[in-house]
Amino acid sequence: MSTRRRNERAKPAATPAPATPPADGRKSVAPDAAARARNLLRLRRIEGQVRGLQRMVESDRYCADVLTQIASVHEALRAVGRELMRHHLKHCATAAIRTGGRDGEAMYDELMELMYRTVR
């Protein structure tokens, strides 16, 4: 890949699309603009990798090569997940647990569920 294409791809969008409010009304606690930009950049790269996988399958590429690229996409998604989990634990979970009561208990349950889902 040429340096020019790599640099063009690395630039974040000038104006981010407005976020769609979640259906349940919950939002991130203490959103970090730099972390958000890093995660969006990673997700755009992953999107490109997935498109590359589609092209590989369409062109009947060697199965082991496709599987290697799939593993790469999995690891890239795990990296985004780790960043989000770190933020969630540092900010969202900490705030809910400090308040105690139902919010604290609900957060413990949420964290347990997240661990079960993400450890697989």
8 or 115, higher pLDDT: 115
Residues 78 and 84: their CA atoms lie apart, in Å, by 10
pTM metric for this prediction: 0.71
| pLDDT of 22 | 55
pLDDT (0 to 100) of residue 19: 52
Nearest to 109 by CA among 90, 85, 93: 93
- Contact at 8 Å (CB) between 13 and 79? no
Structural domains for the chain:
32-119 (1.20.58.1000)
Rg (CA), the chain: 18
pLDDT digits (tens, 9 = 90+) for 20-63: 555 566 777 767 889 899 999 999 999 999 999 999 999 999 99
* Position with higher pLDDT, 18 vs 66: 66
